[in-house]
Amino acid sequence: MTKKTVLALTVSFLVFISGSKWAAAEEIDKNFHKSFPVKTGDALSLRFGDGHVTITPWDKDILDVTVRYRADVDLVGVRLGGRDTFDVEFRQSGDTVHVIGKEPSGAALGFYNERVHEYFYEIHSPRTLRLDLEGDDGDLSIEDWAAEIDLRFDDGNIRLKDIAGARTVVRGEDGDVRVEKLSGDLEVNLDDGDLTLVACDLQSGRVESEDGDVTVRQSGGTFDITTDDGCVLLERSEIQGLNISTADGDIEVDLLAGPKLDGELRTDDGNIQVSFEKGFPVSFQATADEADYIRVELEDMEDYREDSRSKSGSINGGTGRLKILTADGDVTIREKS
């Protein structure tokens, strides 16, 4: 193709765009509202995309959903298939209500840009409704819930508070998760996001994270925490079962006297610091590359032993058990005054 032909086609294309309906600016302003009768044990299946979600309990036997979407669209060219506007699908099938946000999709020939100014789901429901939730970048907040929650998301931030369902499952990538006052079983799987647990009482708490940090404050129960590069911090917690494993992350544990402890802390290159409340009954064994890397600040130890790589002993009767292992990191064990 000659340069003159290319130039002629380009000019024709630009003239066609400027003189046709291809060039367009549009404001999308949509509101959706739907209510469904529900009962204890029913479920909500919500696909919320990039929308922000708030789920609030009430006493009515009704699931009420309001969706608000407002955006500006600039288009110079033509859309090539896909969905050119926002929509929400509502349907009730058996014991499950389905709410599916359908965001614009597809490609464009020319220039296409969409600026979302407002996108949220406001949901009111009985607190006994099971939740099956899946989103992308939107934030989500749930308070005062008493049923199972299964949540999958990408980059949004998650906040759960006063949760008493039998089982809560959270799977995410880069978003942060904060959980306050949750009881029952909790399973969390994250990539780079941070997890914070506050005042939780867990029958079973399983956490897997890659680069994100895990913080547990004023909580109790059983915890199984695994991270790659993330650090793990437990503050003022009464723990019965404790298993923490990291690759390069540090571990810092502050344990209150309470149930009989059965615990193991393990890291490759990270440091480990353990603090016991005064009177905490525990037997410990700490192993590192060299015994000099282990610092023990405990009074009135019983059965103290030391060799080239480890130190062990017990305090206050030693009814609990704690095993500590690190390769290149330092270990500090102390009893708070």
- Please indicate, yes or no, if residue 120 is contained in any of the structural domains: yes
Residues in Cβ contact with 7 at an 8 Å cutoff, skipping those fewer than 6 apart = none
pTM score, whole prediction: 0.88
What amino acid is encoded at 61 in this protein?
Answer: D
- Average pLDDT over every residue of 88-100: 97
- pLDDT grade, residue 77 (50/70/90)? low
Tens-digit pLDDT profile for residues 312-321: 999 999 999 9
Residue 258 resides in a domain: no
Contact (CB, 8 A) for 238 and 256: yes
Check: CB of residue 35 under 8 Å from CB of residue 63. yes
Q: Does position 81 have pLDDT exceeding 60, yes or no?
A: no
For residues 16-28, average pLDDT: 55
Indicate if the pLDDT at residue 264 is higher than 90: yes
Residue 218 tokens, joined: 């004023």
* pLDDT at position 75: 52
Instruction: Please provide the size of the chain in residues.
Output: 337
Pairing of strands 282-287, 310-315: antiparallel
Residue 227 covered by a domain: no
Tens-place pLDDT, residues 140-188: 999 999 999 999 999 999 999 999 988 999 999 999 999 999 999 999 9
Say if 200 falls within a structural domain.
Answer: no
Bridge partners (DSSP) of residue 70 are 29, 118
For the chain, how many structural domains are there in total? 1
Asked whether the predicted pLDDT for residue 78 surpasses 70, the reply is no
Q: Judging by beta carbons within 10 Å of its beta carbon (0-12, 13-18, 19+), is residue 125 exposed, middle or buried?
A: buried
d(CA 304, CA 333): 13
Does residue 189 lie within any of the structural domains? no
Mean of the per-residue pLDDT values for the chain? Answer: 89
Residue 311 lies in a domain: no
Q: What's the pLDDT at 16?
A: 44
For residue 64, give Cα distances in angstroms to 92, 96, 126, 134.
13, 14, 10, 18
Q: What is the pLDDT of residues 196-213, one digit of tens each?
A: 999 999 999 999 999 999
The owner of tokens 């810092």 is 252
| Per-residue tokens: 118 | 């407002």
Structure confidence by residue, pLDDT tens digits, 266-284: 999 899 999 999 999 999 9
Q: In the chain, what's the furthest Cα-to-Cα distance? A: 94
Dump the DSSP string for 135-178: ESS--EEEEEE-S-EEEE-SS--EEEEEE--SEEEEE-SS--EE
**Predicted pLDDT of residue 15:** 43
How far is the C-alpha of 184 from the C-alpha of 93, rounded, in Å? 29
Range of the domain at 123: 24-137
Q: What is the mean pLDDT of residues 23-43?
A: 88
